[in-house]
Amino acid sequence: MMLELNHLHYQQQFAKAKNVPRVSAWARNAQAEAFDRLLTKGLPSQRVEDWKYTDLTLLAGKTWLLSEAATEFNTELSLPAHQKNLVFVDGYFCEHLSSLKSSHDLEITSLQQSPHVMHEISEDIIDDLNQAFMTDGLLIKINSLIEEPIHLYHFNQSANVMNHVRHWIIAEPSSQATLIEHHVGAADIEYFTTAVTHLHCKENSNITHYKLQQESPKAYHLSQVISSLEANSTLQQFKFDSGSRLARTNNTARLLAPGAHCQLAGLYITKQQQHVDNHTLIHHLAPHTTSNEFYEGILTDRSRAVFNGRVIVQQDAQKISAEQTNKNLLLSKHAEIDTKPQLEIYADDVKCSHGATVGQLDEEALFYLQSRGIGEEQAKQALIFGFAKAVLSTITHQDTRLMLEKLTLPELNQSSYLEDLL
């Protein structure tokens, strides 16, 4: 049931990880325990139900070296001038590259100096890996209404290394902010990264969280997002995946008190040998909570994607509404999608719906466009982009929607779907 890790190698890496400063003895302990769990459990094999479609054998077999803080920067690292960033390179915070500074309204501190927030016993192997080898991370406290998006920019430039970043975001009562968590890799290098983000949305807070995964096409990216929503808080999340050789996200939203609402949306675009797995869990722990989930996928070549949408409605959590939709466009006969809703409803006054579709391009629509003189290739691209727009249009903030559309378009252009289609 497990893929064993090379103990000797990982122990050597762990010795290095222990050199990364930790403030408290408690944090050291938690780190050591996470490492023990990791070695004991290993990585899950495909015989573990939750990992049935995602094969970590290659990842487990490689001897990743723990990354070190960069002293030189790859030329592909180009930071957009118009936005305020918090920049990480190879898993280490680069303060001198970061234009966003801590302030009264937005407190930013190193997670290494905030041991209390590490206090969470993990049941997730991604979290164990991350805790054991954590390279760096931030504690971000949102104290009021923050207009400008908080851009967490993770750039990976070194080959054959692993890095593990961890963020803890606390939205204080009635605060409001937009977070953009961006993962980007230099072209054509192989590395392994884990990213764990905890998001605590207190009463009446309103948080928008973008998680954009554009790692190098050879990278391995395992991430975990855990959001906790208190009374009348709202979380809008958009997950974008176009990178990585293998990417897996365990994304959990816990609706803890009445009035909490979350909207999880996502778009994955996979090609060649890519494998992208999104496991989401929306846990309705209190009455009068609502959720709404919409993921779309565009798959080409021999790529593969997994969508598992689990929704749990706790006993006595009445007056719940939960909607889930997953739509997939399969542009190659060799691409494969495994999509599964997983509803566990233990209350009776609940409105739940779910639906999943897997389809090809609409030939009628294609003919219609061609009959107007639009060439086949352009017509197909228009239809594929039109498909993506359904989920992109859930982004209400216009600039961000445009940004996402701009990320999407080139991904569709590069794909070699034409070879395989129709």
Locate 402 and state its tokens: 């445009």
Query: Does residue 364 interact with other proteins by CB under 8 A?
Result: yes
Tell me whether residue 48 or residue 382 sits nearer to other proteins (CB atom). 382
Tell me whether residue 61 or residue 386 sits nearer to other proteins (CB atom). 386
One symbol per residue from 128 to 147: x for binding other proteins (CB under 8 A), - otherwise; what is it? --------------------
- The CA distance from 153 to 89, in Å, is 8
CB 382 within 8 A of CB 369: yes
Q: Which stretch binds other proteins (CB under 8 A): 32-40, 164-172, 228-236, 361-369?
A: 361-369
CB 409 within 8 A of CB 385: yes
For the chain, give the number of residues.
422
Q: Which stretch binds other proteins (CB under 8 A): 70-78, 92-100, 140-148, 368-376?
A: 368-376
Q: Which stretch binds other proteins (CB under 8 A): 107-115, 175-183, 257-265, 370-378?
A: 370-378
Residue by residue, DSSP assigns 105-152 as SEEEEEGGG-GGGG------HHHHHHHHH--EEEEEEE-SB--S-EEE
3-state secondary structure of 8: helix
Q: Which stretch binds other proteins (CB under 8 A): 188-196, 222-230, 334-342, 359-367?
A: 359-367
One symbol per residue from 222 to 261: x for binding other proteins (CB under 8 A), - otherwise; what is it? ----------------------------------------
Q: Which stretch binds other proteins (CB under 8 A): 19-27, 100-108, 155-163, 364-372?
A: 364-372
Tell me whether residue 192 or residue 387 sits nearer to other proteins (CB atom). 387
- The CA distance from 352 to 358, in Å, is 21
CB 207 within 8 A of CB 233: yes
- The CA distance from 250 to 49, in Å, is 14
Tell me whether residue 120 or residue 362 sits nearer to other proteins (CB atom). 362
Q: Total residues at the site for other proteins (CB under 8 A)?
A: 23
Given 57, 376, 410, 413, the residue binding other proteins (CB under 8 A): 376
Tell me whether residue 233 or residue 381 sits nearer to other proteins (CB atom). 381
CA distances from 339 to 23, 237, 248, 277 (A): 43, 20, 14, 10
Residues between 378 and 397 that touch other proteins (CB under 8 A): 378, 382-383, 385-390
DSSP state for residue 287 in the 8-state scheme: S
Tell me whether residue 20 or residue 369 sits nearer to other proteins (CB atom). 369
CA distances from 264 to 42, 109, 343, 391 (A): 30, 27, 16, 10
Given 23, 97, 345, 374, the residue binding other proteins (CB under 8 A): 374
Positions of E strands within 256-378? 261-270, 275-284, 290-299, 304-313, 320-330, 336-345, 350-359
Query: Does residue 375 interact with other proteins by CB under 8 A?
Result: yes
Tell me whether residue 346 or residue 367 sits nearer to other proteins (CB atom). 367
Residues between 287 and 346 that touch other proteins (CB under 8 A): none
Given 348, 372, 398, 406, the residue binding other proteins (CB under 8 A): 372
* 103 CB-near residues (< 8 Å, 6+ apart): none
Tell me whether residue 69 or residue 369 sits nearer to other proteins (CB atom). 369
Q: Which stretch binds other proteins (CB under 8 A): 139-147, 155-163, 207-215, 373-381?
A: 373-381
Measured over all CA atoms, what is the biggest interatomic distance in the chain, rounded to whole angstroms? 71
Given 363, 402, 416, 418, the residue binding other proteins (CB under 8 A): 363
Query: Does residue 369 interact with other proteins by CB under 8 A?
Result: yes
- The CA distance from 135 to 148, in Å, is 27
Q: Which residues bind other proteins (CB under 8 A)?
A: 362-365, 367-376, 378, 382-383, 385-390
